[in-house]
Chain A
Amino acid sequence: MFPGTTMLNYIFWMVMGALQVLIVMGLVEWLKSRGRKPVWWQVALLYAGFAFLCAVVAGGTTLMGEFETIAGWYFIGVLGLPVVICLAIAVRLFVMKKPTQG
């Protein structure tokens, strides 16, 4: 990915890996600050949704790299939208305060 170097590729992915830890910890902290208990599978689902969104973006940009720019945008739009919607549903279920009774 980084022409002319041999190490940068590995360093890039190591940093990406480290960032994921920060993301999950931040997610847990955010849930706590919203008054919700961070249940492990909920956190896992939210993170998985985010990871899938990143994968969709990566797929679209790969197409753009292959000079298929329009296909890339359509890829992100059509496959990303359901992911965003599912994430919204998940946020509603796991994060937002339940509607008060009465």
Chain B
Amino acid sequence: MSAKTVERISAIAALIILLAAWIAGGVRSKGATLERIGNISEEIVDVRQVGPSVYEGHRRGDAGDKLCIAVAEHPGYGGPVQVAVVMNSAGIIERIALVDTTDTTTYVSRVLDAAVLDAFLGTSASRPPKVDAVTGATLSSTAMIKAANKAAAHIKGTVGESGPVAVSPDEMVKAGLTVALFLAAFLISSRFFRWNKTYARLGLLTAATVILGFLYGTQPSLASLALLLAGFWTKGLASYTALICLVLAFVVFFATKKNLYCAMICPFGGLQEGLGRITKRSPPERTAWMKWISRGFALTALSAALYFRNPSDAEYTPFGMAFSFIGSTAIFALTVLILVASLVVKRPWCALLCPATPVFDYLAFMRNWLTRGRKKEKQS
């Protein structure tokens, strides 16, 4: 079997696997919702749905003590955040829990740490308390507060119109800057650019590292790709910057046949390259086993994210850790290792582990395969 055939079979298999994961994930999540509602508290039993997003149960051991559970959604950082509010018959909120969140666990735990939701406990639905959002996790906590308010309103029976989610001016600025960066990349790579391309690339890369990386921390990651594929963005996102970045990267790739994102914009790439330039490292030779390892990683992680409908759970990219210190201890260790390795090898993450490389490889491969076929048709 030639290498090309192997690649073709793998390409199709990858597509099938992703699709299967997505379908299986859909089946799994429906049944899980009801179970998760019931699992909010051990004290609630006999839960059944009595309305859209409203469930009813009773306290364990006391069939007459009715407890009402309402679930509300609000766009969070990685997709919709679902908050469930448990209210007793006196209208007092007893418990708040996250039913389903696709937010990065560390973001969410920062908010829970601040006991943002606890401010609701003991209050009645008619007077939801003012709660401060936690800095560093602003989007997630705003989402949770709003969801809790909605849930409380549900129970009271006065559901407000869920209007379109207003996009803040901050988000517009971020989106604008992202577009500007890609335009610059497009320009630099085009034949109309007359100045020193090396310095221009480095300059743009530095700018992108500072803006997208350190300033905003919105580098697209595996979670963004999973978000895109799983369609969570249709339910509303709090920040579209990472998605815009991803989509533009693909658009530019198809338009110019060049992967401009990795070379000119990726902030983590910029970080590695910056470190590598300190010690003047040369890039490693990309052997076959390195290619297949990164492809395997990317496919597994992506499938898991689609299956569990939680893009951030399968996240193994260190971007969040490098720029915002978000992530597990394991990711931290990985990040430190990669950054130290960048002093010794040029762009080690890109070469060995980054899912972007296999993704762009895949797109290039499919493009060649399909256009070649069409070219042949044209010729014949």
Contact = CB atoms under 8 A, between A and B. Distances in A.
A91 interface: yes
Nearest to A99: B280
B340 A96 contact: no
Contact of A85 (B280, B333, B343): B343
A77 interface: yes
B329 A89 contact: no
Interface string B317-345: 00000000000010011011001100100
A71 B329 CA distance: 10
Contacts of A89: 278
Interface string A58-102: 000000000000100110010011001100110110001000000
A81 B340 CA distance: 7
B340 A84 contact: yes
Nearest to A77: B336
A89 B274 CA distance: 11
Main secondary structure of the interface of A (DSSP, over half): helix
B332 A74 contact: yes
Interface residues of A, number: 13
Given A92-B280, A96-B280, A85 B332 contact: no
Contact of B333 (A77, A84, A88): A77
B298 to A, nearest CB: 25
Contacts of B340: 81, 84
Nearest to B337: A77
Given A73-B333, A77-B332, A77-B333, A88 B278 contact: yes
A70 to B, nearest CB: 6
B282 interface: no
A92 B275 CA distance: 11
B279 A70 contact: no
Interface string A33-71: 000000000000000000000000000000000000010
A94 to B, nearest CB: 12
B359 to A, nearest CB: 28
A70 B278 contact: no
A90 to B, nearest CB: 10
B236 to A, nearest CB: 35
Interface in B277-333: 278-280, 329, 332-333
A91 B279 contact: yes
A78 B333 CA distance: 10
B278 A85 contact: yes
B339 A92 contact: no
Given A89-B278, A92-B280, A96-B280, A73 B343 contact: no
B343 A88 contact: yes
Contacts of B275: 85, 88
A77 B335 CA distance: 9
Nearest to A69: B329
Contact of B343 (A77, A84, A96): A84
Contact of B279 (A74, A80, A81, A88): A88
A36 B343 CA distance: 22
A60 B218 CA distance: 31
B276 to A, nearest CB: 10
Interface in B172-211: none
Contacts of B278: 85, 88-89, 92
A13 B292 CA distance: 50
Contacts of A88: 275, 278-279, 343
B279 A92 contact: yes
Interface of A: 70, 73-74, 77, 80-81, 84-85, 88-89, 91-92, 96
When A and B form their complex, which 8 residue pairs have the shortest distance between CB atoms, in order from nearest? A77-B336, A88-B278, A88-B343, A89-B278, A92-B278, A88-B279, A81-B336, A70-B329
24 contacts: A70-B329, A73-B329, A73-B332, A73-B333, A74-B329, A74-B332, A77-B332, A77-B335, A77-B336, A81-B336, A81-B339, A84-B340, A85-B275, A85-B278, A85-B339, A85-B343, A88-B275, A88-B278, A88-B279, A91-B279, A92-B279, A92-B280, A96-B279, A96-B280
Interface of B: 275, 278-280, 329, 332-333, 335-336, 339-340, 343
Given A81-B336, A85-B278, A88-B279, 17 more contacts: A73-B329, A73-B332, A73-B333, A74-B332, A81-B339, A81-B340, A84-B343, A85-B275, A85-B339, A85-B343, A88-B343, A89-B278, A91-B279, A92-B278, A92-B279, A92-B280, A96-B280
